[in-house]
Structure 1
Amino acid sequence: MSGAYLEMRNITKTFYGVKALDDVNLSIKKNEIHALVGENGAGKSTLMNILSGVYPYGTYSGKIILDGQECIFKDIKDSERHGIAIIHQELALIPYLSIAENIFLGNEQASKGIIDWNKTILKADKILEKVGLREASDILVTNISVGKQQLVEIAKALAKEAKLIIFDEPTAALNEEESDNLLNLLLTLQESGVTSILISHKLNEVENVADSITILRDGKTIETLEKDVDDISEGRIIKGMVGRDIVDRYPKRDIDIGDIVFEVKDWTVCHPLQDDREIIKNVSFNLRRGEILGFAGLMGAGRTELAMSIFGKSYGSNISGHIYKAGKEIHLNNTTEAINNGIAYLTEDRKNYGLILINDIKDNITLTKLDKVAKKNIIDHNKEYVVAEEYRKKMNIKSSSVNQTVASLSGGNQQKVVLSKWIFAQPDILILDEPTRGIDVGAKYEIYTIMNKLVAEGKSIILISSELPELLGMCDRIYILNEGEIIEEVDRSRATQEYIMGCIMEHSKEGKK
């Protein structure tokens, strides 16, 4: 691993008059796994979009040197011709095409304009074997899990004979087992001569697989740490990212839990397309004033389906059961009724369901309660601006102004906009579904602080998270969900990762008997 395979020299990129990258330098050796870390907004994705041709030559200053040659990428195809491929956090697959069709999309195995399907399938099967995906190549992508879809994206890159693959948050939507498999694949690809750039907020993964780690902060290169030379522990990486030590990742709060304010009884939900298939099975739970209540479970346990079905029946069919708020039964037949009853749901998929990306911050924040910034059904834009500016400051949303489009914000700042939108609706109950997915340690701490402030004000929170340390660090009680059923309720004093996983494994064994 001697000598630089890729160099990005003095890269500067500006958006809306603000420097997203300021004289950034990156040096990567051939055949290494190089991690790129930093807080949201540090410039990681922007830098990789320049390398992959998303931001073409001329829209930035600086040089890209690949294998000793300066490269001028006018578009993505240019970078692909040089053996560079990027796998974005939001997968670029077409769900109703087969695995093979997706692998060779834009890279069709054709002769004289006619696709050779035998060649396509044979080559696809070979690549699938290489990435360890044991699925028939003629299966539709919509019928495989997110973890397997990630492998299809990697297969796409290998089909283009990529020598350098950029992985942007590849495990953000994966469970622990799928994440481990994907990281092992990176090591396998390394053995076959592929150089990888890994962007990840999961610092334990970075520590486990990276040969070197470059830290960005506020659009600038801070340092590069080398494995077996420098300290690459999580604490050391965090210090480089945020410029200080974070001693406690979960802020302390004074716990003052009151009476039951929200209760769900005998809640059963069927699949939206198969109304005889139960997804949620006779679930009952309660939530107290000033409490953070957690829902733990593996991917597919039904946590999101439960939350969405409660929030105005936005998921499912043949829904039965009862919902009580402050002791009185309420009926939530649509999302408007849920909002009007003081219930908010922050989706796990902020880009598709939580935000209007082409609109500005101001429009997104006031969206849930337009009547509060309107007179006689006409929006008062001055009032809307004042409200949005108040939340921008209060939530520490990093932007040039409230008129900046949400699409141009970092993931952490987008999440703060979603939270602002729901807080503006003044709910009593907030259901937060994976609120810190894909955001960095510093932004997570800010979200946790906001959560603590909300419950201190007497609001109540339901937290759904795939990260057990997050549930253990933030929640007062945890319900464990498995295969659509609540299998255990555990309070803060008894909750451990081992106990929760043990409950899930035991229930899964019993279900197979």
Structure 2
Amino acid sequence: MSNEILAMHGITKSFPGVTALRDVAFSVRSGEIHAICGENGAGKSTLMKILSGVHPHGTYSGEVIFEGEPCAFAGIRDSESRGIVIIHQELALVPQLSIAENLFLGNEITQRGMIDWNRVNHEAAKHLRRVGLRENPVTPAGELGVGKQQLVEIAKALSKKVRLLILDEPTAALNDDDSAHLLDLLRGLRDDGITCVVISHKLGEVIEIADTITILRDGRTIETLDATDVTEDRLISGMVGRDLEHRFPPREPHISDEVLRIEDWTVHSPTIAGRVVVDRANLSLRRGEIVGLAGLMGAGRTELAMSVFGRSYGVDITGRVFKDGREIDVRTVDAAIRNGIAYVSEDRKRYGLNLVTDVKQNVSAAGLGLLSRRGWVNENEEFRVAEKFRAALRIKTPTVQAPVQTLSGGNQQKVVLAKWMFTEPDVLILDEPTRGVDVGAKYEIYTIVNSLAEQGKAVLVISSELPELLGLCDRIYALSAGRITGEVPRAEATQERLMEYMTQEVGRE
């Protein structure tokens, strides 16, 4: 291929107990946007970490050729010196430093051994304008939203004279507007001659933005496709090795009595005095029922869930919570758990998992009282419980004693579900349960949710993906500016109707 900028041949990479990549071949043309798709654990991020020097030469076998020359990167500095820059899914900005300081951290502009702050701020402003940010370069990076932080990361890459930009799940945490802006920016970079490699689970965005798509499965290259006429179903078939005729597993609901009722629930912001985040919300859940909660970013969905779960968010909280017709105390997390409520956070790495411990300890973390006697944990029983959930939820790990941080995103999410299922709750609140996981893992998580409902649990699902709520839920509440503006049964629910409720203007009485 005459305009090939990158070629990787025979790439094989192993970790203890698992082979992540097997004889992978991958090539990219100069000036294109090349997407990599695959299920969690397919090897996408590992392949890009090899390319960027995170996994240095000598820790893998195979050959990397960039701009016609063999490369043996010993670290990130080596790859960046060639113009290869990677932006990881977990952004690497230092929140206490200014935008300009972050842009040139490790690559400072100096004069006579001193940092030239005038040039630093001037150059930073120039790069920020290129990505469409009008922020003051001296603004602390921690004051920016996630969407703007992502743009700062791209500006940082541009400051390094990037030739090949790698983005790992760049829109995973972004709302629709920020995602659209980022995709437009990538098109502009392509027009400027910068080659981009994008890893994404959002297949619609992949088809919209990519020129070429490579599919990995189980650590192997399956195929490389021209994106012109590719459909989502075609990509799914390549990713999972089979056709998914239905995105959601079949389910026959068996709904019985009301188990949870929330009345006149009001929550105020802990940081902005007088601001009402949740305003007199009323909702109910029944046994065997899956209920959805839809809303735009900032509508108050997560704040509602966290405030009910032991007042984990908010101040000046008022309202009542009833369980099986009896008012209950949910003023602490322990009280909420004792009353049969569990909450799976949208941010599994920050709130759902202890990344420095193993799968076994994460599974048992919320229910240690069930495994302990006189203050001592029965480790044999802890191991047995973890093994039971590993098998039941099909968690892919060589052993439950493996560090949870080595698991793929979908399998980490299953560990979080296992942790709360072990507490034997009657009500599970699942906040963005499939965020950052692939279509195959989503199907498995939907199957788990269905099985929980079949066991008589009540499940509240918060999701930014309306098709997910429509395909999974029996009823859906819509939230706008902290107010519940509508309740729609499954048979009457459409994306248009939900969006109408989600964008409804609400006044304050």
Range into which the TM-score falls when normalised by the shorter chain: over 0.9
* 1:198 lines up with 2:178 in the alignment: no
**For 1:226-270, what per-residue CA distance to the aligned partner results, in whole angstroms no more than 9, with x for missing partners?**
134xx5211111111000000110111011212221111111111
Provide structure 2 residue ranges, at least 5 long, that are not aligned to the other structure: none
One-letter identity of the residue aligned with 1:49: K
One-letter identity of the residue aligned with 1:302: G
**Count of matched residue positions in the alignment of Structure 1 and Structure 2:** 508
Mapping 1:390-429, distance limit 5 Å: 390-429=388-427
SS in 2 for 1:438: coil
Single out whichever of 92-101 and 320-329 deviates more from structure 2.
92-101
Distance 1:348 1:112 in 2: 48
SS in 1 for 2:492: coil
* 1:119 lines up with 2:119 in the alignment: yes
- Are the aligned partners of 2:86 and 2:165 in contact in 1 as well (CA < 8 Å)? yes
Q: 1:330 aligns with which of 314, 328, 352?
A: 328
- Are the aligned partners of 2:479 and 2:501 in contact in 1 as well (CA < 8 Å)? no
- Are the aligned partners of 1:294 and 1:478 in contact in 2 as well (CA < 8 Å)? yes
The alpha-carbon deviation at position 2 of structure 1 amounts to: 4.2
Distance 2:477 2:311 in 1: 21
SS in 1 for 2:425: coil
- Are the aligned partners of 1:36 and 1:44 in contact in 2 as well (CA < 8 Å)? yes
The alpha-carbon deviation at position 502 of structure 1 amounts to: 2.3
One-letter identity of the residue aligned with 1:198: V
Runs of 4 or more above 3 Å deviation: none
SS in 1 for 2:230: coil
- Matching residue of 1:154: 154
- Are the aligned partners of 1:280 and 1:484 in contact in 2 as well (CA < 8 Å)? yes
- Matching residue of 1:261: 259
The alpha-carbon deviation at position 419 of structure 1 amounts to: 0.5
Q: 1:375 aligns with which of 365, 369, 373?
A: 373
Distance 1:106 1:173 in 2: 26
Distance 2:99 2:476 in 1: 38
Identity of aligned residues (%): 56
Change in Cα spacing, 1:495 to 1:2, as seen in structure 2 (3 Å) is farther
- Are the aligned partners of 1:345 and 1:431 in contact in 2 as well (CA < 8 Å)? yes
Distance 1:282 1:472 in 2: 25
Distance 1:490 1:479 in 2: 6
* 1:307 lines up with 2:305 in the alignment: yes
One-letter identity of the residue aligned with 2:62: G
Distance 1:356 1:36 in 2: 29
Distance 1:10 1:339 in 2: 50
One-letter identity of the residue aligned with 1:27: S
- Matching residue of 2:220: 220
The alpha-carbon deviation at position 333 of structure 1 amounts to: 1.6
The alpha-carbon deviation at position 493 of structure 1 amounts to: 1.8
The alpha-carbon deviation at position 505 of structure 1 amounts to: 3.0
One-letter identity of the residue aligned with 2:501: C
- Matching residue of 2:491: 493
One-letter identity of the residue aligned with 1:55: H
Distance 2:24 2:215 in 1: 11
Distance 2:483 2:47 in 1: 44
Distance 1:89 1:7 in 2: 23
- Matching residue of 2:230: 232
Distance 1:96 1:298 in 2: 29
Q: 1:345 aligns with which of 343, 353, 370?
A: 343
The alpha-carbon deviation at position 288 of structure 1 amounts to: 1.3
- Matching residue of 1:40: 40
SS in 1 for 2:197: strand
- Matching residue of 1:130: 130
Q: 1:476 aligns with which of 474, 477, 487?
A: 474
The alpha-carbon deviation at position 275 of structure 1 amounts to: 4.0
SS in 2 for 1:366: helix
Change in Cα spacing, 1:505 to 1:375, as seen in structure 2 (3 Å) is closer
Single out whichever of 129-138 and 380-389 deviates more from structure 2.
129-138
SS in 1 for 2:142: helix
Q: 2:435 aligns with which of 422, 434, 437?
A: 437
Q: 1:451 aligns with which of 432, 442, 449?
A: 449
The alpha-carbon deviation at position 49 of structure 1 amounts to: 1.0
Single out whichever of 76-85 and 430-439 deviates more from structure 2.
76-85
Change in Cα spacing, 1:116 to 1:284, as seen in structure 2 (3 Å) is same
Q: 1:288 aligns with which of 286, 289, 299?
A: 286
One-letter identity of the residue aligned with 1:313: R
- Matching residue of 1:384: 382
Change in Cα spacing, 1:2 to 1:484, as seen in structure 2 (3 Å) is farther
- Are the aligned partners of 2:109 and 2:119 in contact in 1 as well (CA < 8 Å)? yes
**For 1:435-486, what per-residue CA distance to the aligned partner results, in whole angstroms no more than 9, with x for missing partners?**
1000000000000000000001100111011111101111111111111111
- Are the aligned partners of 1:31 and 1:190 in contact in 2 as well (CA < 8 Å)? yes
Distance 1:445 1:421 in 2: 20
- Are the aligned partners of 2:480 and 2:504 in contact in 1 as well (CA < 8 Å)? no
TM-score (norm. length: structure 1): 0.97
- Matching residue of 2:96: 96
The alpha-carbon deviation at position 96 of structure 1 amounts to: 2.5
- Matching residue of 2:168: 168
* 1:71 lines up with 2:71 in the alignment: yes
SS in 2 for 1:469: helix
- Are the aligned partners of 2:363 and 2:415 in contact in 1 as well (CA < 8 Å)? yes
**For 1:314-362, what per-residue CA distance to the aligned partner results, in whole angstroms no more than 9, with x for missing partners?**
1111111111111111111211111111111000111111101111111
Distance 2:503 2:318 in 1: 28
Distance 2:485 2:226 in 1: 45
- Matching residue of 1:189: 189
- Superposed CA RMSD in Å reads 1.4
Provide structure 1 residue ranges, at least 5 long, that are not aligned to the other structure: none
SS in 2 for 1:21: strand
Distance 1:164 1:153 in 2: 14
The alpha-carbon deviation at position 372 of structure 1 amounts to: 2.0
**For 1:14-62, what per-residue CA distance to the aligned partner results, in whole angstroms no more than 9, with x for missing partners?**
1113111111110111111000010000000111111111111111111
- Matching residue of 2:245: 247
Distance 1:245 1:112 in 2: 63
Distance 2:500 2:113 in 1: 56
The alpha-carbon deviation at position 141 of structure 1 amounts to: 2.3
- Are the aligned partners of 1:275 and 1:317 in contact in 2 as well (CA < 8 Å)? no
Distance 1:503 1:345 in 2: 25
- Are the aligned partners of 2:4 and 2:29 in contact in 1 as well (CA < 8 Å)? yes
Distance 2:502 2:157 in 1: 36
One-letter identity of the residue aligned with 1:145: G
